[in-house]
Structure 1
């Protein structure tokens, strides 16, 4: 939930990974209907504790003084980030909590449309965006699908690896075994994601081979796409692999969907940071490496069944 109009952006991934949370047991998470909604929900409160935060001095002075990093997310993407009992939970928020312990600050999450995350970041509404965003050159350079310059782009701190997966109704009534089997059929997807781009790429491959194009139905959020598949209006949906696996396991007690085939085009999820904010970017990279080294990173992934997306070391702008 691959943010420019390229994914969470191209048949190239999104499992992939991760948000941010509080230090010293404090957690303040905000869920709002869109990027302009000012309402918020607190999941906890507490005093910022700098003792025991080995990377606190790595942060720019702004964050040392405020004790807060504001995070934009799209909390509709279980198990990565979603709302449960009024709180934003999942892989990214738990990873953020671990990052907060290293940095000595709280990560405050606000949920809005995935499509608007990078814009909100670059206008200063958020300090970072952490929402299973696929790191790729298009987003790094601020380009649209045709290569036209839309903005200055963002930097990414890569923390997770994910690929594209296809899911169908339970029982796979149309016999779909891969994304290639969708030629001439209807598929549902969330708009402005890398897996929407994956469908567009595959659709062109279909027509180039003399087959019919894929009828792509793109929705504002992933829940609408899932509903379309469940109702039979689309033969399949396309999503990040860990999200599709979680959906198949949990929806209607595991009776609604199934994942078909293997994940393809795995690529990194990254924490997006304004290109002018290199101090924060570099501190986040050190923090990701620190939680990988101390084991808290793997513990979070295993908790949510996302261990296949683990990386060995953080990278800056590692996406292609």
Structure 2
């Protein structure tokens, strides 16, 4: 599915999540997708990686994967369907694994990480960067990279368009995300240049950060460069963004699919990723979503704590 085929705006997705949040008393939300809503409808015991799956996953016949709304990774359509890079990657992986994925919608990174540790979810595909600390609790299969960007309204170009403008500004971002940690590096750059530190406004999901800049609760929405490009393409002329540079401490973050270590799914998932790299599906999907600049040569397992082999 290409970017040009997206039909739902960020605000529409945010409204749907807001309704769900209200019905749950304002906390994080979870809804369980039925097997019929999974990426692939049937189990294929002859699939290349099926025999490597843990017995519990084989018995369940489905991989329950957590997901929030985060275009272009996942976009919640008005009919309840979730589209984006993540479902496309899941469809390709399901062909290798022989079992379907079912996206369980949730809100908030902490809720998804703790949900995996409690056994509610089998995996979560971010976009979340892997760290040595996270790899203590989770297995991480890295399959793409990113740089942090700071999205702002085009009408504010004159006051927000330069890298130094981020210093002293209000930056909305998802709590616990890449943006929050990268903003710390940006803060150091600001200090080194005699400029004020930016203020981080931690929110539950990407839609909330976009609403924050549209309602003037924040000046910027910190997000991945991938998401910034997608939002700009969806609503042409509305958004611009500043990309955090190496000088500002950005570097390149490795984004991963996470799985709790105790469910022993990681070896099979790594093999499935290797399969879609080998058969060309990975390159095809990334190219269709115009993500060639953030691809990796090969998937790696736990690169922060292991050799990645």
- TM-score bracket relative to the smaller structure: 0.7 to 0.9
User: What is the Cα deviation at residue 258 of structure 1?
Assistant: 1.4
Q: Which residue in the other structure is 1:292 paired with?
A: 277
Q: Which residue in the other structure is 1:138 paired with?
A: 133
Q: Which residue among 237, 255, 274 is the counterpart of 2:237?
A: 255
> How many pairs are equivalent?
273
Distance between the aligned counterparts of 1:228 and 1:307, measured in 2? 30
Aligned partners of 1:83 and 1:89 also within 8 Å: yes
Are residue 212 (structure 1) and residue 196 (structure 2) matched?
A: yes
> Where in structure 2 are there 5+ consecutive unaligned residues?
1-16, 22-26
Which protein has the bigger helix share? 2
**What secondary structure does 2:130 align onto?**
coil
Q: How does 1:101-140 map to 2 (within 5 A)?
A: 101-113=95-107, 114-140=109-135
**What secondary structure does 1:282 align onto?**
helix
Alpha-carbon displacement from aligned partner over 1:117-139 (angstroms, at most 9, x marks no partner): 11110111011112211111121
> Where in structure 1 are there 5+ consecutive unaligned residues?
1-30, 142-152
Could you tell me the TM-score, scaled by structure 2's length? 0.80
Q: Which residue among 58, 75, 88 is the counterpart of 1:82?
A: 75
Q: Which residue among 285, 289, 297 is the counterpart of 1:312?
A: 297
Could you tell me the TM-score, scaled by structure 1's length? 0.77
Greater shift, 294-303 or 99-108, is seen at 294-303
Q: Which residue in the other structure is 1:201 paired with?
A: 185
User: What is the Cα deviation at residue 100 of structure 1?
Assistant: 0.5
**What secondary structure does 2:87 align onto?**
helix
Are residue 221 (structure 1) and residue 215 (structure 2) matched?
A: no
Distance between the aligned counterparts of 1:67 and 1:319, measured in 2? 31
Aligned partners of 1:174 and 1:235 also within 8 Å: no
Q: Which residue in the other structure is 1:159 paired with?
A: 143
Relative distance call for 1:188 and 1:137 in structure 2 (3 A) is same
Q: Which residue among 248, 263, 266 is the counterpart of 2:252?
A: 266
Aligned partners of 2:148 and 2:243 also within 8 Å: no
**What secondary structure does 1:167 align onto?**
strand
Aligned partners of 2:173 and 2:223 also within 8 Å: yes
Q: CA RMSD in A?
A: 2.4
